[in-house]
Structure 1
Amino acid sequence: MHSFLRAPLALLALASLAPVLPAQAQQNTNPPGVPDTKTVGRPVQTAKDPWLYEKSDLVHDDAWKFGRLSNGVRYAVRKNGVPPGQVSVRVRMDVGSLMEQDSERGFAHLLEHLSFRGSVHVPDGESKRIWQRLGVTFGSDSNASTTFTATTYKLDLPMATPAGLDESFKILAGMMSGPEITQPILNSERPVVLAEQREQPGPQVRLRDAMLDLMFAGQPLAQRDPIGTVETLNGATPASVQAFHDRWYRPERATIIAIGDVDPALLEQMIVKHFSDWKGTGPAVPSPDFGKPVAGKPVSASIVEPALPVLTTITIVRPWTVDGDTVIFNQKRMIDLVAIRIINRRLETRARSGGTYIAAGADLSDLARSANITTVQVLPVGDDWEAALRDVRAVIADAQATPPTQAEIDREVAEIASSMQQRINTAPVDAGAKLADDLAEAVDINETVTTPEFSYAIFKGAVDGKMFTPATVLASSKTVFQGTATRAIVNLHAPDPAITTKVASALEANVAGAGKRKVLGNVSFAALPKLGLPGKVASREQILPGTGIEKLAFANGVTLLMRQDPSETGKVYVNVRFGGGLSSLPNKGATPAWAGEPALVASGVGKYGQEELDYLTGNRQIGADFDIDDDAFTLRAQTTKDDLSDQLKLLATKLSAPAWDPNPVNRAKAGILSGYAGLSASPDAVMSRDLERLLHNGDPRWGVPSKAVIEATTPASFRKFWEPLLATGPIEVEVFGDMDAEATVKAVAATFGALKPRVASMAPPVPFEFPAHVATPVTLTHTGQPNQAAAVIAWPTGGGTANGGITESRKLEVLAAIFRDRLLDQLRSQAGVSYSPQVASQWPLGLSTGGKIMALGMVPPDKVDFFFELSRKIAADLVAKPVDADELNRALTPLKQQILRMSSGNMFWMRLVEGGTYDPARIAAVETLAQDYSRVSPADVQGLAMKYLRPDKDWTVKVVPETK
């Protein structure tokens, strides 16, 4: 069964160390359509068709129709109308880097690139242009990925017509059976693949490679990074790549998934029409043996990467044994999941209280059909990895020695149940692309898909069968940390000759009795600080006829924008905007503004810290994220109709009675300092640190602050800075989604409407400037790989909503799309200099200035000047003459289709009107949305280029290797 219960390993993904799965909604305990848990399952399927369920006793998801062509191609088709008009196709080839020979490393990925260039049905580069005319955005709607075990081609075709589907399936079939593998095409695309390899962050790649070498010693997985090597890629010839294709690209290794807003019979017809004649070349070759984890290999290793945090990763490896996806298999894994969740929650509790580590967490997963693994990652405070590892191992040892309480188990079971119930509620609005990806991944890991109701029934059957007990969870806590071998690697900031011995000793050290458990008292929403009496509605009106959006004002000055729309079943979006955002902050001197996003919500509410708030909201769909926009501070959440009232109460109380727990500030500070050196370690890292500040002419409100500013931040300075900001400035609440309008008005009146009137700041936004034109690029340096550089060229535009500003901003998006397409073709496809150059237009609606068109490319150091020359040449050409009708259409049609697809969701409408209670032009501009895009002409594009892409206004910056 493919579901959230099976998480993939994410090497180096420190963000994945969160202690629990995202909180989901609390619904009734017996969702409709859930089978009786006493009759869960069915006899194990022994026939090959429907092919997905062989050796499984899971209930079939009958919304899918499965089939198999006579040549061996397997397929699955399904009706789905989210978003309307779209069809999503996935062609999964059972060929990845583990199928490569030593001389072919990187060939699976290289072949993926070549397949998009041209095939027996379309000449080189034409498939991209055909799909653009059909509304496809290159890189997002059409893409592919190569892993250890598979190459999956992805196409999301908006507003799919029978003719468009026919053309698309023909192209995909040709890409699989007959890609054009010629010397000229290989010479053109090889540099792109090498550019993709070159642009990878060096420190992370070296650590990942060292981890694979250690963790999977003795298995092919250790030496099969899908990107390949420079030597093997340069050694590729048309003949050798063709041989690889002929060996592995065979119909019996193909799985086609097609789902969308058309009759499934049409999708099946397309598959039969275009894939039935495909024949393999020569005899079929069996998949190679991926091997099993072996004992007797080194158990410890280290690497020195000062650009990365000090980090310890432990992996317990076991053979991969998934043979049949059965009910009992899933129920046993659920017990393991509960054990891991309890351990992670305890680890997070210790980290929050100010321990020896910033973050730590365990994960259980299967990797590349090669191993089942338990991974533990530990990010210490400072450099003392030994103390942090000791404390983490102590928590794990305690879980292995003493059973958890039933209350601990019940908490995790309740959260999992709530998540699965919410999955049932929202299943009707699952996007077709997501369902296609889920099925492709299920095929990849040898599992199945079933209905959300049956997934819940499997879980409920385990609950009813008393499978979650202190004894069973204790047993799982032991077995998930046992295996063929336990191995650990440590990243250091300085060499240590004794490190291997230290790591081995740390893994064997006795930590029994050192893992203390924290027990929470009773927590409830009733104990939150009281708000005032419910506020009165001063005015209420419908705005934007046909959209269902209402605007309300309360007596205390709070405003509400609201849209009751059940189309996204079970989802309610909440947005609370207050204050003036970055533009209201001082632009002189250092401030703790940087710590707002990581620490403000975690600092607590009333007498509750993050630990208590997690307990309070864990089995409900309630949460909060804090963001700082240019013109407002924002609290955001996604909730449900049943949880909306308490969600609003939590957010309102955060503004009226915030807590100031010092630990989240200290933790955020330690976290950013642990990886600060990495912000100099590659061109893109330097850009992420400095570019926004430079584009605001050095204004310290933008960009990552200096290390000194971070080190100077204290819990006291954090509170002094943020406390008045939470208490001042107007509040605009937006609630959009599957809720009851009258109940929502009542809930907002009882929460935000009950707050004391807030004083709006009379001070104007603190101004900033776009940097002046420079004759030579501003030069920054990085400490990473000597073959990496980056270049940016930007032109100032504008901002705000006055004088048709929103219409101007929309037309600039079209200009940027055309610029991007030309840059992509000329810099990537023709020159092979950069893998993914970008061009974007940014127009801040809340500010009168600050907009820009910006082009960015990751390039070799000796190609920086070429990037600037090419970008200026493209800009000059856009100024000199109008674009032709086909090029404009290929830019406009994907933009229009993106808007049409997004318009089926409530988040789209909320984003359009946010801030509109104080700036009515934003609301008025909704009515011109369609015409602003549909009426763009070649003359408009040229006029905008003449107005903004001026050579005397451009600003440039480059990031080059540091000279030694």
Structure 2
Amino acid sequence: MKNVLSLVLLFCSIFIIQAQDFVQDKAVRVGKLDNGLTYYIRHNQEPKERAFFYIAQKVGAIQEDADQRGLAHFLEHMAFNGTKNFPGTGLRSYLEKIGVKFGADLNAYTAVDETVYNIDNVPTTVNGAIDSCLLILHDWSHDLTLSDKDIEEERGVIHEEWRARNNASQRMNEAMMPVIMAGSKYEDAMPIGNMDIVMHFEPQTLRNYYTKWYRPDLQGIVIVGDIDVDEIEEKIKTIFADIPAPRKDAAERIYYPVPDNKEPIVFIGSDKELLSPTVTFYFKYDAPARDKKNSRQYLINNLYNNFIYGMYHDHTRDIAQKPNAPFGFAFVRFGDFFIAKTKKALALTVSCLSANGDIEKGTVGALRELFRVRQHGFTQTEFDRYRHDMLVGLNNLLKDKDKRQSSRFVDEYVRNFLDNEPIPSLEDEVAFWNETLPKLNVDGLNDYLNSIFAADDRNIVIAVTAPQNDTLKLPSQQDMIDLYHKVKAEKLEPYIDQVSNLPFLPAEPKAGKIVSETTDKDGYVNIVLSNGVKVIIKKTDFKNDEILVQAMAYGGLSLLPVEMYKYGSLLNMMVGVSGWGNYNFSDMEKKFIGINADINAGISENYQSIAGSCSPKDIKTLFEKMHAAFLYPHKDENAFTALVDRLKRSLKDGKDKPSTIYADSLSRTLYGDTPYTEKMDAENLDKVDYDQLLKLYKERFADASNFTISIVGNVDMDSLRPHLEKYIASLPSTNKKEVAKPVLKIIPGSRSCIFEQEEETPKSTITVLYHADHTFDFRNQLMASMLGQALTILYTKTIREEAGAAYSVGASSSAEYYPEEKAMVKVRFTTNPKSQELAVSLVDKGLQDIASEGPEKADIDKAKEYLLKVYQSNLTLNRYWQYVMSYQWNHGVDISKDYAAIVNDITAKDIQQFARNIMENGDRIAVIMTTPGAK
């Protein structure tokens, strides 16, 4: 239910006055140059000394001609491969020098109807950074180089991106489009395009697309951050003035329609690599006109959309939590009809992940719940809960109205430019909802829901995708139509909204005491409770409405009986579906409506923890939940049985999939065949004893004295102390100190596991791991991070750009302390089997070159700049300080101190020695899965 507020704010962000106009937020300056370029500028200091630069294009794959399929996306790639003012890779190189990382901060995406480029987290204190980023936006708009040589070199990269992303879902989407989008331009408009065209088009064809569609009347730039709005506006007027206005005969930007259909359209598709059957019913309706999005009804309809999404999910979640559930999950959502902005749809999606994967059973179950609310409507009590939750959430946002992140404003302004979604101030929006929401009722919502469906069943589209195997029977197109009409004809009982009246906690806690409280020189408050629990508190003012809490203790799954270790993930899943105290999961969602206090309990390999967050006003509820998580995991055998049913089907369907086979091979190669590398399988799940799992969970949380609790945020100590005494000091303790056992150790020795596996898309999946014994400390962790960044830069150049052998090479390095102190380098990517040997040799050569000759100093400088920039931004984030406290709990070191000095002290020579130790004193492990006969 908590997601409803964010969805409403994302899709319904609008303020309506009596004349049914909306008021644009006065804090954003919106203007348009004489050449037609639109700009948005806003000053915002979260994060401080940072700015975000975006350019959005109202064009995408749908504008491509038949001989240009894939070129909108190709053009996006070329924006990073040479512009007038930043030749070659100069754009990336400059930004990396100032700490803007390619991929993380510098990126772009191409969709069917839009293309958006972004430069995030630019340090505004760097001399010339603002001007340079504006110049980059200028060049992206009008001055890409698009040389023959650069185009030729990028073909292989895009082909490898296609290879990496051409999974079962992508193949199903491409097969589906000509059927469900029949008669529209969207039949063949997936952005990745046609690889035959991508590999063979004439360079001028790409230039034609660029000059035709990248023009200022279709472009909007967005700059938000710690900047001077007047200064930025003047710079925009100067820098972008030389871009010519579009010609009078410029191509019209058409928003292509999707035709209505009188009879249902049905797509049935299967793929060997799909994991489970999924059915989606689309009920199409016309999209609101772009210039009509400021009406009162548009706002209210979007509110209804999100309430319906949440309430229908509540109904189907309760069903999925019961044994022999017809489906794994089912939900409805409102939005674009697949990839088309000109047609909307209510989409009902059902995962037929029941014990036998029965498509008919799952479809009927989900449709019944949809027709139940069509026949009887949602209840007023459900509506009241969602209304209350939204009002509380909206007013909570006002508490941090001056602490909103710049990235949020950027997203709003991009959507305003592309889709004409309004951009009010938060104050106006909250005022509107405070006035309007109390006047709405469930009857209006139910009437709106039924208005979506055509009386004669026009505009229905049904899509079925399923694994291709011998045991699953696929329905016919007529079967699916008949199922729909069968359920529609049923007379169903109304939904009964049940709310538990039991107290949340089974027993009232008997409060303990605070036995000591001190404040150290760094401002941390250290408390010891009468049961031995240690509490560390850092009070901050970074957010007015946020407190983070985390309780941690050593032990984890490593202390489970060896035969139960493989069920560790099941144990965590069990906790996730069961609830706490006297409430099951559904009860908790209903009873804690409007209360911002959530927790999650989990058991990792070497520790157990309970983490949560809350508003200051709801801190009592958070500690009530934490108390329950320690003592009272809710016993819900129905939910556990339903979970096992879903898991059995998932394991059965997934065991022969290439991704599963590869993961198992990697695990066995690293750790060998031990009881700790055994996997859960469908055949043994019925043998798992639910009570034993509950017992194992309780054992991990039985001794509170093992735990240290960190609390960060807007904490009021006078309010906090009684809750610590009542809900934490009351927990039982045995003072039995535990430590984690090392269970998954990498087997010594270098080795390779290379095997063949049939896949629909020919490729080689490659992991190369280098590891060596190495002292663990924070400095070595930072050196490992720098080495990983330097390798990523190097492999991007050698494997991606020069060899065209991969789209993305994931290189990382780490210094580990558990289960043993080691330094590692891990490289993971996919490639064409024909490029496999070359790519692997380049991986080895890259690390060897750094070990023998040292990294490029410029690359280490880039890594340092990025680390320092992230550190500076982290200093005002509660989650960072929670990590600092966790690190100190684990290792006894305050990593917030002397961070910059440690980073700056590390040299390229240090990185060379770090890499040399891994290469000369360690082992190399390679696991490669390749398609047979593809070389």
TM-score (ref. length: structure 2) = 0.92
Distance 1:691 1:910, change over 3 A: farther
Q: In terms of mean alpha carbon deviation, does 568-577 or 709-718 score higher?
A: 709-718
Answer whether contact 1:814 1:891 (CA < 8 A) is retained. yes
1:890 to 859, 862, 865: 862
1:392 to 356, 366, 374: 366
Answer whether contact 2:35 2:244 (CA < 8 A) is retained. yes
Distance 1:786 1:405, change over 3 A: closer
Correspondence for 2:293: 325
TM-aligned CA deviation for residue 138 of structure 1: 0.8
User: Are residues 1:565 and 2:532 paired?
Assistant: no
TM-aligned CA deviation for residue 75 of structure 1: 0.3
Answer whether contact 1:537 1:554 (CA < 8 A) is retained. yes
Correspondence for 1:602: 577
Question: CA offsets, 1:153-174, max 9 Å, x none?
Answer: 0001432235111112112211
What residue identity is the alignment partner of 2:395? Q
Correspondence for 1:454: 428
Counterpart Cα distance in 2 of 1:774 and 1:935:
33
Distance 1:433 1:162, change over 3 A: farther
Counterpart Cα distance in 2 of 1:762 and 1:408:
46
TM-aligned CA deviation for residue 570 of structure 1: 1.1
Q: Residue 616 of structure 2: SS of its match in structure 1?
A: coil
Counterpart Cα distance in 2 of 1:398 and 1:195:
47
Answer whether contact 1:217 1:294 (CA < 8 A) is retained. no
Answer whether contact 2:538 2:713 (CA < 8 A) is retained. yes
Question: CA offsets, 1:218-277, max 9 Å, x none?
Answer: 222232001111122123222000000000000111100001112122322332222121
TM-aligned CA deviation for residue 712 of structure 1: 4.3
Answer whether contact 1:106 1:228 (CA < 8 A) is retained. yes
Q: Residue 623 of structure 1: SS of its match in structure 2?
A: strand
1:790 to 762, 765, 772: 765
1:224 to 184, 189, 214: 189
Correspondence for 1:122: 86
User: Are residues 1:22 and 2:3 paired?
Assistant: yes
Q: Which aligned pairs between 1:717-736 and structure 2 lie closer than 5 A?
A: 717-728=692-703, 730-736=706-712
Q: Which aligned pairs between 1:79-90 and structure 2 lie closer than 5 A?
A: 79-90=43-54
Q: In terms of mean alpha carbon deviation, does 717-726 or 144-153 score higher?
A: 717-726
What residue identity is the alignment partner of 2:919? L
Q: Which aligned pairs between 1:415-564 and structure 2 lie closer than 5 A?
A: 415-464=389-438, 466-469=439-442, 471-482=443-454, 484-493=458-467, 494=469, 496=473, 499-511=476-488, 512-514=490-492, 517-523=495-501, 526-543=503-520, 545-546=521-522, 548-564=523-539
Answer whether contact 1:335 1:467 (CA < 8 A) is retained. no
Distance 1:940 1:852, change over 3 A: same
Counterpart Cα distance in 2 of 1:552 and 1:406:
46
Correspondence for 1:29: none
Answer whether contact 2:776 2:815 (CA < 8 A) is retained. no
Correspondence for 2:100: 136
Correspondence for 1:5: none
User: Are residues 1:288 and 2:254 paired?
Assistant: yes
What residue identity is the alignment partner of 2:539? Q
Q: Residue 541 of structure 2: SS of its match in structure 1?
A: coil
Distance 1:497 1:798, change over 3 A: closer
Distance 1:305 1:797, change over 3 A: same
Q: In terms of mean alpha carbon deviation, does 64-73 or 410-419 score higher?
A: 410-419
TM-aligned CA deviation for residue 516 of structure 1: 5.3
Q: In terms of mean alpha carbon deviation, does 549-558 or 370-379 score higher?
A: 549-558
Distance 1:686 1:807, change over 3 A: farther
Q: Which aligned pairs between 1:333-348 and structure 2 lie closer than 5 A?
A: 333-348=302-317
Q: In terms of mean alpha carbon deviation, does 257-266 or 661-670 score higher?
A: 661-670
TM-aligned CA deviation for residue 851 of structure 1: 5.0
What residue identity is the alignment partner of 1:325? K
Correspondence for 1:960: 930
Distance 1:394 1:855, change over 3 A: same
Correspondence for 1:48: none
Answer whether contact 2:888 2:895 (CA < 8 A) is retained. no
1:62 to 12, 26, 38: 26
Question: CA offsets, 1:61-88, max 9 Å, x none?
Answer: 1110111111110001001111111100
TM-aligned CA deviation for residue 439 of structure 1: 1.8
TM-aligned CA deviation for residue 812 of structure 1: 1.2
Distance 1:397 1:818, change over 3 A: same
Answer whether contact 2:555 2:738 (CA < 8 A) is retained. no
Question: CA offsets, 1:174-218, max 9 Å, x none?
Answer: 122111111110111111111111101421112223443443332
Distance 1:697 1:172, change over 3 A: farther
Question: CA offsets, 1:370-411, max 9 Å, x none?
Answer: 211110111121321212221221111121111433212101
2:387 to 405, 410, 413: 413
Q: Residue 927 of structure 1: SS of its match in structure 2?
A: coil
What residue identity is the alignment partner of 1:468? N
Question: CA offsets, 1:392-438, max 9 Å, x none?
Answer: 21111121111433212101211222232233333322211222123
What residue identity is the alignment partner of 1:958? I
Correspondence for 2:850: 878
Counterpart Cα distance in 2 of 1:672 and 1:151:
39
Q: Residue 304 of structure 1: SS of its match in structure 2?
A: strand
Counterpart Cα distance in 1 of 2:894 and 2:466:
56
TM-aligned CA deviation for residue 590 of structure 1: 5.3
Correspondence for 1:17: none
Counterpart Cα distance in 1 of 2:569 and 2:643:
10
Q: Residue 820 of structure 1: SS of its match in structure 2?
A: helix
Counterpart Cα distance in 2 of 1:734 and 1:704:
34
Correspondence for 1:188: 153
TM-aligned CA deviation for residue 146 of structure 1: 0.7
Answer whether contact 2:606 2:740 (CA < 8 A) is retained. no
Q: Which aligned pairs between 1:905-916 and structure 2 lie closer than 5 A?
A: 905-914=877-886, 916=888
Answer whether contact 1:679 1:689 (CA < 8 A) is retained. no
Correspondence for 2:10: none
Question: CA offsets, 1:580-626, max 9 Å, x none?
Answer: 22433445565421113322132122221111111122322122233
Q: Which aligned pairs between 1:556-705 and structure 2 lie closer than 5 A?
A: 556-587=531-562, 591-676=566-651, 679=654, 686-687=661-662, 691=666, 694-697=669-672, 701=676, 705=680
What residue identity is the alignment partner of 1:770? I
Q: Residue 341 of structure 2: SS of its match in structure 1?
A: coil
Counterpart Cα distance in 2 of 1:410 and 1:946:
64
Answer whether contact 2:261 2:460 (CA < 8 A) is retained. no
Counterpart Cα distance in 1 of 2:608 and 2:787:
30
Counterpart Cα distance in 1 of 2:18 and 2:669:
63
1:771 to 734, 747, 750: 747
TM-aligned CA deviation for residue 754 of structure 1: 1.3
Q: CA RMSD in A?
A: 2.8
Answer whether contact 1:794 1:956 (CA < 8 A) is retained. yes
Question: CA offsets, 1:662-706, max 9 Å, x none?
Answer: 233333333344444675677666555664565444566579644
Counterpart Cα distance in 2 of 1:226 and 1:104:
11
Counterpart Cα distance in 2 of 1:510 and 1:763:
56
Q: Which aligned pairs between 1:84-123 and structure 2 lie closer than 5 A?
A: 84-123=48-87
Distance 1:413 1:659, change over 3 A: same
User: Are residues 1:311 and 2:273 paired?
Assistant: no
Answer whether contact 2:676 2:744 (CA < 8 A) is retained. no
Answer whether contact 2:374 2:450 (CA < 8 A) is retained. yes
TM-aligned CA deviation for residue 840 of structure 1: 1.3
Distance 1:581 1:819, change over 3 A: same
Q: Which aligned pairs between 1:803-818 and structure 2 lie closer than 5 A?
A: 805-818=777-790
Q: In terms of mean alpha carbon deviation, does 880-889 or 698-707 score higher?
A: 698-707
Q: Residue 102 of structure 2: SS of its match in structure 1?
A: coil
Q: Residue 492 of structure 1: SS of its match in structure 2?
A: strand
Counterpart Cα distance in 1 of 2:127 and 2:643:
53
Q: Residue 825 of structure 2: SS of its match in structure 1?
A: strand
Answer whether contact 1:699 1:768 (CA < 8 A) is retained. no
Counterpart Cα distance in 2 of 1:630 and 1:24:
35
User: Are residues 1:165 and 2:130 paired?
Assistant: yes
Question: CA offsets, 1:20-73, max 9 Å, x none?
Answer: 343879xxxxxxxxx9x9x951646xxxxxxxxxxxx11211110111111110
